[in-house]
């Protein structure tokens, strides 16, 4: 079957580049077509890249604690662009300090993410889930 396309990037004013590269390699090895937008990616760039590439999912990273502010409105922007039902994951250091994970997870699910992953999640932990979410 045709390779599924993922749009990948680190959102906001976040310059953490290493994890982003590891994700790119892992997704490619798992057979995905990866559109890696790199670091310092705005919401607009995620939306536009997903539109042009007809992406199957958007993979957002945030590693500096400001993720909540950065992703607010992203799902709504996707709805406006006509691709509101696209699958969307987020992972990383999503909040500052030690907040209860279940709270963090439900907060980001309310913000429109289908799956939310804590720090130190390994690619093999979520790639099978991603494949099943995409019906592969």
Token reading at 38: 């790199």
Dihedral sign computed on CA atoms, order 47, 52, 57, 62: negative
Cβ atoms of residues 115 and 60 within 8 Å: no
- Catalytic residue at 14? yes
Q: Measured from the CB of residue 65, what is the shortest distance to another protein in angstroms? A: 7
Q: Does residue 39 belong to the site contacting another protein (CB under 8 A)?
A: yes
What span, in angstroms and rounded, lies between the C-alpha atoms of 3 and 112? 25
Q: Does residue 93 belong to the site contacting another protein (CB under 8 A)?
A: no
- Which candidate, 19, 10, 82, 15, places its Cα nearest to that of 51? 82
Q: Measured from the CB of residue 6, what is the shortest distance to another protein in angstroms? A: 12
Q: Measured from the CB of residue 45, what is the shortest distance to another protein in angstroms? A: 8
Q: Does residue 48 belong to the site contacting another protein (CB under 8 A)?
A: yes
The residue within the footprint of another protein, chosen from 26, 28, 51, 127 (CB under 8 A), is 51
- CB count within 10 Å of CB 136 equals 14
Total residues in contact with another protein, by rule CB under 8 A: 22
Q: Does residue 14 belong to the site contacting another protein (CB under 8 A)?
A: yes
CA diameter of the chain = 43
Catalytic residues: 14, 16
Interface residues toward another protein, by CB under 8 A: 2, 5, 7, 13-15, 33, 35, 37, 39-40, 44, 48-49, 51-55, 64-66
């Amino acid at each position: 079957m045709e390779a599924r396309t993922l749009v990948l990037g680190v959102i906001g004013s976040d310059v953490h580049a290493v994890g982003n590269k590891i994700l790119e390699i892992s997704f490619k090895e798992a057979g995905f077509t990866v559109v890696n937008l790199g670091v310092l990616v705005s919401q607009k760039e995620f939306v536009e890249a997903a539109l042009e590439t007809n992406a199957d999912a958007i993979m957002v990273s945030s590693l500096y604690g400001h993720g909540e502010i950065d992703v607010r409105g992203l799902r709504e922007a996707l709805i406006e662009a006509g691709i509101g039902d696209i699958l969307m994951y987020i992972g990383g250091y999503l909040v500052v300090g030690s907040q209860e994970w279940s709270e963090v997870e439900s907060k980001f699910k309310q913000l429109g993410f289908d799956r939310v992953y804590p720090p130190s999640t390994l690619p093999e932990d979520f790639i099978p889930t991603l494949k099943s979410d995409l019906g592969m």
